């Protein structure tokens, strides 16, 4: 913003200088053609010159201050050409500022588009697409769009523990009966290893034949153990109270 103002100041000064040099030869310059500026002070002429510079640079051009001599018209053409460049610079900067207001949301939109394009490329059924959409809705709500593990890894151990504890304070409070039994170092490592997950109604979470490779912390929803009469197969099947499913963290 300072750069644009400074450029407008320079253009305004030259605009006034071009007209003042010609004033002895041609009295019909831009300020003499305006009744409210004809016998006004230099300060008023400067403010009007700055006003003309801004309106010309931004391509507004109200038309209340116009060039009256050949030299002024020539200078105006040059300023219009420069103004188009400066105006493009302003628009580009504003767009960049708006884009930087929420970098995370912009990156998340890019990832969502990539995911939807992938599902379309694989010609997945509508039911599976909805399942994946709901999973990523929860996933993006619970994870940072940035490379959180890389950022935390670079921190000193003490500061890393403090940050991890703060990020997961709600989770710690809910499952303190588990996390409160371990030391701070192990608690921090476990929290960093947690991955958000999402299950829909009637999704199967675990079967008897599956290997014991993960631990689940159910944050929302309910589940039940279902066993067949012949005992040949026993599996965990999720029966959710909420239609949207349940929120989980898996370790």
Considering only residues 96 and 152, tell me which one the structure prediction assigns the higher pLDDT.
Answer: 152
Average pLDDT over residues 112-140: 86
pLDDT of residue 22: 65
- pLDDT over 70 for what percent of the chain? 81
List the single range of 106-110, 157-161, 202-206, 229-233 with lowest mean pLDDT: 229-233
In angstroms, rounded to a whole number, what is the distance separating the alpha carbons of residues 50 and 56? 10
pLDDT tier for residue 220 given thresholds of 50, 70 and 90 = confident
Domain borders along the chain are: 2-101, 103-141, 147-193, 195-251
Considering only residues 143 and 149, tell me which one the structure prediction assigns the higher pLDDT.
Answer: 149
List the single range of 15-24, 41-50, 104-113, 156-165 with lowest mean pLDDT: 15-24
Average pLDDT over residues 84-102: 71
pLDDT tier for residue 242 given thresholds of 50, 70 and 90 = very low
For 85, phi then psi, to 5°, come to -70, -45
Strand ranges across the sheet with 246-250: 195-199, 246-250, 216-220
- Report yes or no on whether pTM surpasses 0.85: no
Of the spans 76-80, 92-96, 205-209, 224-228, which averages the highest pLDDT? 76-80
pLDDT tens-digit map of 40-57: 788 888 888 888 888 887
In angstroms, rounded to a whole number, what is the distance separating the alpha carbons of residues 38 and 47? 14
In CATH terms, is domain 2-101 a member of 2.102.10.10? no
Contact 46, 14 (CB under 8 A): no
pLDDT of residue 229: 53
- pLDDT over 90 for what percent of the chain? 1
In angstroms, rounded to a whole number, what is the distance separating the alpha carbons of residues 61 and 23? 24
């Amino acid at each position: 913003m300072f750069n644009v103002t400074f450029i407008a100041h320079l253009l305004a000064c030259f605009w006034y200088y071009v007209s003042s040099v010609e004033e002895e030869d041609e009295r019909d310059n831009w300020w003499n053609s305006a009744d409210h500026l004809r016998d006004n002070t230099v300060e008023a002429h400067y403010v009007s010159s700055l006003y003309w510079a801004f309106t010309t640079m931004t391509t507004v051009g109200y038309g209340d201050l116009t060039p009256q001599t050949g030299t002024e018209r020539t200078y105006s053409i040059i300023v219009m050409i420069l103004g188009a460049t400066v105006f493009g610079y302003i628009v580009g900067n504003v767009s960049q500022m708006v884009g930087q207001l929420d970098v995370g949301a912009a990156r998340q939109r890019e990832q969502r588009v990539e995911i939807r394009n992938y599902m379309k490329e694989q010609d997945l059924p509508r039911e599976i697409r909805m399942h994946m959409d709901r999973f990523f809705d929860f996933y993006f709500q619970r994870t940072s769009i940035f490379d959180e593990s890389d950022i935390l890894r670079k921190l000193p151990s003490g500061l890393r523990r403090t940050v991890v504890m703060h990020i997961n304070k709600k989770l710690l409070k809910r499952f303190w009966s588990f996390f409160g039994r371990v030391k701070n170092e192990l608690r921090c490592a476990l929290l960093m290893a947690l991955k958000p997950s999402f299950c829909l109604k009637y999704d199967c979470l675990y079967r008897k034949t599956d290997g014991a490779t993960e631990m689940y912390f159910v944050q929302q929803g309910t589940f039940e153990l279902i066993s067949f009469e012949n005992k040949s197969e026993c599996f965990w099947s999720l029966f959710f109270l909420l239609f949207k499913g349940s929120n989980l963290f898996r370790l």
